[in-house]
Amino acid sequence: MNKGVLRNFVGWFIFWVIREVLRIYVIIFFCGSWFIPGKYENLTDKTQIVIARHISRNDIPLVLAALPRTHRVLCVARKGLRMLGWLENNSFFRRCAEGKYIVFVDKEEPTKEQADLITNAIKSDWHRFVVIFPEGATLPKDQHLNSGFVVLARRYKLPIRPIRIIPWGCYGRIYGEKPLKVLGMRARHTLVKVGNPFRYENVAGEDKDYDLIAKRAIELVDKA
C-alpha cells in the first residue's frame, strides 16, 4: 500500500477515535447539557469557518460534539496547549494528521508554514468546518483576539458560523456552584447553540481594519 494512503488512513482513524472519545466525554460529564443545532440544509460544498469564545478547556469537545459527525473538521489549535501537548509532540501523529485534521499555530500569529497548512486545507475543499477559537486562551489576561479567521473568510469567501457556549452551574474553573457527581467526578452543565452562518461583508461594512472586524464577529457569537 502507498505510504501516503496509509498515512492518510491512520490520520483519519486517530482523529475519528479522538473525536468519538471527546463525544463520550461530553455525554457523560455534560449529561445535563442542551445542544441547539444550527440549520445545515443550506450547507454547500464550501468550507465554513466555525468560531466560539474560549472560556474553558471543555470548549473543544463541546464544539466538536455540536457539529455534525458526518462532516470533516479541521481544528486550529494553539501550540503549547497542555490538553493537546501529547499530540503536538508526537511526530507520528503530526505526520499523519497535521494539515488534514489539526494545525498547531503560534499564539500571537501563525507562521507562514502554519498559515500555508490552513490555506491548503481550505483550497483542497476537503473539510466542511475549520474550527478556530480567535481569543486563543481561556484566561482573559492571556487572550489576544486574532483576526486571521477574518482574513480567511474574506480571501476565500467563506461563511463564518458562530457557536455560543452558555455555561451554568459548574463549568471549567470559573463557575463554582455545587456540582452534580457522575462516577465520582463532577459533571458540568451548559447550553451550546450553533448559530446560522454570516458573511464577511455582514460585519465589515466599509471598514478594512481586520482587528475591528474580528471584534464585531466575535460579538455576534454572543447573539447566536
Q: Is the pLDDT of residue 215 over 50?
A: yes
Q: Is the pLDDT of residue 17 over 50?
A: yes
Whether the Cβ atoms of residue 191 and residue 81 lie closer than 8 Å to each other: no
Q: What is the pLDDT of residue 138?
A: 72
Q: Is the pLDDT of residue 172 over 50?
A: no
SS3 category, 125: coil
Predicted confidence (pLDDT) per residue in 48-107, tens digit: 899 998 877 788 888 888 888 777 888 888 777 666 666 777 777 777 777 778 888 887
How many whole angstroms separate alpha carbon 61 and alpha carbon 28? Answer: 12
How many whole angstroms separate alpha carbon 135 and alpha carbon 138? Answer: 8
**What is the C-alpha end-to-end distance of the chain, expressed in Å?**
46
Q: How many structural domains is the chain composed of? A: 1
Beta bridge partner(s), residue 167: 190
Q: What is the pLDDT of residue 54?
A: 85
How many whole angstroms separate alpha carbon 121 and alpha carbon 103? Answer: 10
Higher pLDDT, 186 or 139: 139
Q: Is the pLDDT of residue 124 over 90?
A: no
Instruction: Give me the percent of the chain exceeding a pLDDT of 70.
Output: 79
**Cell, residue 160:** 463564518
How many whole angstroms separate alpha carbon 76 and alpha carbon 13? Answer: 19
Q: What is the pLDDT of residue 36?
A: 77
CATH assignment of the domain containing 144: 3.40.1130
Q: Which of 18-22, 135-139, 215-219 has the lowest mean pLDDT?
A: 135-139
Predicted confidence (pLDDT) per residue in 128-149, tens digit: 889 998 887 777 667 778 888 9
- 171 — pLDDT class (breaks 50, 70, 90): very low
What range does the domain containing 128 cover? 3-221
Give the DSSP letter string of 17-37. HHHHHHHHHHHHHTTT-EEE-
Q: Which of 118-127, 154-163, 205-214 has the lowest mean pLDDT?
A: 118-127
Higher pLDDT, 4 or 154: 154
Q: Among all chains, which residue has been given the C-alpha cell 443545532? A: 37
